[in-house]
Amino acid sequence: MSAPLVRGWCPGAHRPMMSGDGLVVRVKPRLGQLTADQALTLAQLSKSHGNGMIDVTSRANLQVRGVSEASHPRLLAALIDAGLVDADPEMDARRAIVAAPGWSGGDQTDRLGTALEARLGDLPAMPAKIGHVIDTGPARILDGVSGDFRLESGESGLILRADGALRGRPVTEDEAVDALIEMAWWFVETGGRESGRMKRHIASVELPSGWTCADPGPVAPRLDVGPHGGSLSVGVAFGQLRADDLSALCASGCSTLDVTPWRMIVLNDATQAYDKLIESHSHVLITTPGNPVLASHACPGAPLCPQGTVETRDMARRLAFQVPPGLHVSGCAKGCAHPDPAPLTVVGCDGLYDVVRDGRASDVPEARGLTRAQVLERFGA
């Protein structure tokens, strides 16, 4: 078996990555939110310039898949026109901001996001994976979501917290972005580019005194699928939906859609009775809490990923109802969809499947070289 290839580069709209099904064009909706019109436009563009498949990423972004090199310039121009991509490639690359879903125009999330976006040019050049989090509601819902520079609610007001630090720096709203820029310059001037991420960096370099004196506020319960107040949260199996699924979400009558980092899209102002209709529309969209597919992980596998040698997602759908929650089906030992241990991991290897218990995709399997039928039979699926 050949070792999996590790790439240290994030695809963007201006600089897409080639995958097994064509170019992957990443779209970063502003603070994770699209209007229903923007979502419909994206769905149409995905069909006209891509293969109609759209990823929902762990950074609350969307990715148009299957784009050819010839159609990329036209897609990019249309995305810029729709206000979904910055015309300036550098600013688009720097606009890596995950915001707590449910924000609305003029609230603190919107104000902080606007202020940060206006100052992106004042940030130093940083590694591609660096990102920001805005999580200033009564309780922090983005705890555990990747983001190096974090504006959060503290026990007694707004704080700026370096990812990996237990405590943060108290700031006023007016000071927040200046303080974040100061922290970003401290990061690069103390060798952060070599560390790559803030959490790794502060494991060996101490933050300035005064930047770790305020406790973060409480953590909110994880968002679940289903109706919440005036919104409806819809799970996306394995983080990939079709253009028609996205159009169906817009038909719920929602005003805006919040893309979350948890393979979930929140439909704001959706007609509540729409949940069953959405779930019946597609085996991809999930509105029933506790559906085991939502707790399962599966990368695109073969043939979408050149390194995958087996089909993954149909296998995961069939196994999810038969095995403990947290199933992981991986196209190869790299384990992109879930780098952590899982109760059961099924891993592709040279066109057949290995089975790992309580481990990662790269761990020693308890069974090797099974056919698809043998795996399904082994777990009664």
Contact residues toward ligand SF4 (CB under 6 A) are: 4, 299-301, 305, 307-308, 330-332, 334-336
DSSP labels for 48-72? HHS-SEEEE-TTS-EEEEEE-TTTH
Question: Given the complex with ligand SF4, which of 50 and 192 has the nearer CB atom?
Answer: 50
126 closest CA partner among 187, 202, 205, 208: 187
Question: Given the complex with ligand SF4, which of 223 and 333 has the nearer CB atom?
Answer: 333
Residue 310 CB, nearest distance to ligand SF4 (Å)? Answer: 8
Residue 308 CB, nearest distance to ligand SF4 (Å)? Answer: 3
Residue nearest to ligand SF4 (CB): 331
Residue 8 CB, nearest distance to ligand SF4 (Å)? Answer: 14
Q: 225: number of CA atoms within 13 Å, CB side?
A: 24
Residue 330 CB, nearest distance to ligand SF4 (Å)? Answer: 5
Sign of CA dihedral 277, 280, 286, 292: positive
Question: Given the complex with ligand SF4, which of 22 and 308 has the nearer CB atom?
Answer: 308
| 8 A C-beta contact, residue 43 and residue 84 | no
Question: Given the complex with ligand SF4, which of 146 and 255 has the nearer CB atom?
Answer: 146
Residue 5 CB, nearest distance to ligand SF4 (Å)? Answer: 7
Residue 9 CB, nearest distance to ligand SF4 (Å)? Answer: 14
Distances (CA, A) of 340 to 10, 348, 365: 20, 17, 15
Helix (H/G/I), strand (E/B), else coil: 90: helix
Token output for 174: 């007016």
Residue 344 CB, nearest distance to ligand SF4 (Å)? Answer: 16
Residue 273, judged by CB atoms within 10 A of its CB (0-12, 13-18, 19+), counts as exposed
- Write the CB contacts of 290 (distance below 8 Å, at least 6 apart in sequence): none
28 closest CA partner among 64, 63, 61: 61
Cα-flanking dihedrals φ and ψ of residue 364, to 5°? -70, 125
Cα-flanking dihedrals φ and ψ of residue 53, to 5°? -105, 140
Question: Given the complex with ligand SF4, which of 93 and 332 has the nearer CB atom?
Answer: 332
Question: Given the complex with ligand SF4, which of 266 and 299 has the nearer CB atom?
Answer: 299
Tokens 């109760």 belong to 343
Residue 298 CB, nearest distance to ligand SF4 (Å)? Answer: 8
Helical spans, DSSP H, in 150-214: 173-189, 192-195, 198-201
Q: What span, in angstroms and rounded, lies between the C-alpha atoms of 79 and 77? A: 6
Residue 305 CB, nearest distance to ligand SF4 (Å)? Answer: 3
